[in-house]
């Protein structure tokens, strides 16, 4: 259940939006290379320009970043933003993509991963190695430099800084919980339960993937985030539901369709499915789970999947999905602000019953 596995399916953005978004990336990267705070050597410029930033920031679907623009348009009640509004919304979107890159560079080192987005993880690239740790720190610092350059003087500047700092802290704390639960010492399934799973998902994924893009759009629209506590809760719930879907698809999705072969069972992940299984097993079934979960032998994986079938976990998931959708819809419709309702419904519509 790595951060990696979560690619938000909300902000799709039209072709024009995507083109504008890409164009602004080039400008932001250029500014980072001309930052007067550091005297770059030719070698360090080349490292950042030709390799590090493009390799790590680009390559994803950019859904988190694009959803800032989509959400801001809805909040403003317009189909077309001014040039200045487009620039600011795209810039905040890219700050989220930079944040994602920073998380993933370090996450891959901690997980000792091999590939990311169809290419070797950054630290696996020859000549990079553990320089990747410092690169992650540089990527994080780029965000602060971008925000200072383009938002200092805006009435919401301090709120933006606080927002990114808080979301980063929540995500890093979620990562810590994930690491010590799933990696520390001996493998111990008894550590896994619904409360632990929920807490990891909320903090490691939901805040930065679902809440952060909308919070950025609300600040751009001149809103006070203190007035949108319910919206934060709804988005975090949505992010939790999204990760549960991811856990389900890892086991039951069509690999050809979703683009990857699920390995949560082999990787000993604190998946929603294994947590549900632990809640439902008798002693004999629990023994099967403890003996076979976390092993790469296909026969062991098959035994775990057979047990999931015996426990009818597919239907348990479908029931969870129905209940989540009903509750989220009711919570969204209780929001007094119609534009906010539209933003939240657009997120939910994109992820409900997704199959990839």
pLDDT in tens, 227-270: 999 999 999 999 999 999 999 999 998 777 766 678 889 889 99
Is pLDDT above 60 for 135? yes
Q: Which residue has the higher pLDDT, 118 or 189?
A: 189
Region of poorest pLDDT, from 105-109, 182-186, 198-202, 312-316: 182-186
Residue-averaged pLDDT of the chain:
91
C-alpha distances (whole Å) from 150 to each of 85, 158, 339 are 12, 13, 26
Looking at the DSSP bridge assignments, the partners of residue 251 are none
Q: Which residue has the higher pLDDT, 213 or 117?
A: 213
Indicate the DSSP class of residue 142. H
Is pLDDT above 60 for 3? no
Q: Residue 8: what pLDDT?
A: 40
Residues of the chain with pLDDT > 70, as a percent, come to: 94
Looking at the DSSP bridge assignments, the partners of residue 115 are 120
Q: What distance in Å separates the CA atoms of residue 354 and residue 337, rounded to the nearest whole number?
A: 27
Q: Residue 325: what pLDDT?
A: 97
Q: Residue 258: what pLDDT?
A: 64
Q: Residue 185: what pLDDT?
A: 54
C-alpha distances (whole Å) from 179 to each of 176, 182, 201, 291, 295 are 5, 5, 12, 22, 18
C-alpha distances (whole Å) from 275 to each of 33, 248, 314, 324, 337 are 47, 12, 14, 18, 37
Q: What distance in Å separates the CA atoms of residue 232 and residue 215, rounded to the nearest whole number?
A: 8
DSSP 198-222: HHHHIIIIIIIIIIHHHHHHHHHTT
Using pLDDT thresholds of 50, 70 and 90, give the confidence band for residue 1: very low
In this structure, what token pair is assigned to residue 215?
């919070």
Q: Residue 10: what pLDDT?
A: 40
Q: What distance in Å separates the CA atoms of residue 130 and residue 109, rounded to the nearest whole number?
A: 8
Using pLDDT thresholds of 50, 70 and 90, give the confidence band for residue 182: confident
pTM: 0.91
């Amino acid at each position: 259940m790595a951060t990696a596995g979560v690619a938000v399916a909300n902000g799709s953005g039209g072709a024009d939006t995507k083109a504008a978004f890409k164009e602004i990336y080039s400008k932001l990267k250029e500014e980072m290379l001309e930052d007067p705070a550091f005297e770059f050597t030719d070698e360090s410029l080349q490292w950042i320009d030709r390799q590090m930033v493009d390799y790590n920031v680009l390559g994803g679907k950019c859904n988190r970043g694009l959803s800032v623009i989509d959400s801001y348009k809805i909040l403003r009640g317009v189909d077309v933003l001014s040039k200045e509004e487009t620039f600011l919304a795209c810039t905040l979107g890219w700050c989220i993509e930079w944040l994602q890159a920073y998380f993933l560079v370090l996450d891959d080192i901690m997980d000792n991963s091999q590939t990311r987005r169809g290419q070797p993880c950054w630290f696996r690239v020859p000549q990079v190695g553990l320089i990747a740790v410092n690169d992650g720190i540089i990527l994080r610092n780029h965000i602060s430099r971008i925000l200072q350059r383009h938002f200092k003087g805006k009435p919401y500047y301090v709120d933006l800084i606080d927002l990114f700092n808080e979301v980063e802290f929540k995500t890093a704390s979620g990562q810590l919980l994930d690491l010590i639960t799933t990696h520390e010492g001996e493998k111990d399934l008894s550590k896994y339960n619904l409360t632990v799973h929920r807490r990891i998902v909320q903090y490691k994924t939901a805040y930065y993937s679902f809440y952060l893009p909308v919070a950025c759009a609300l600040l751009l629209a001149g809103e006070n985030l203190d007035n949108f506590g319910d919206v934060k809760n709804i988005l975090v719930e949505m992010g939790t539901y999204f990760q549960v879907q991811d856990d389900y698809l890892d086991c039951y999705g069509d690999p050809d369709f979703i683009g990857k072969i699920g390995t949560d069972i082999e990787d000993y992940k604190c998946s929603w499915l294994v947590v549900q299984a632990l809640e439902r097993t008798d002693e004999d079934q629990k023994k099967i789970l403890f003996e076979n979960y976390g092993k790469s032998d296909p026969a062991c994986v098959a035994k775990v999947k057979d047990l999931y079938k015996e426990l009818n976990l597919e239907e348990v998931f479908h029931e969870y999905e129905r209940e989540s959708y009903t509750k989220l819809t009711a919570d969204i419709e209780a929001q007094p602000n119609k534009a906010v309702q539209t933003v939240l419904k657009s997120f939910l519509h994109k992820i409900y019953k997704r199959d990839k």
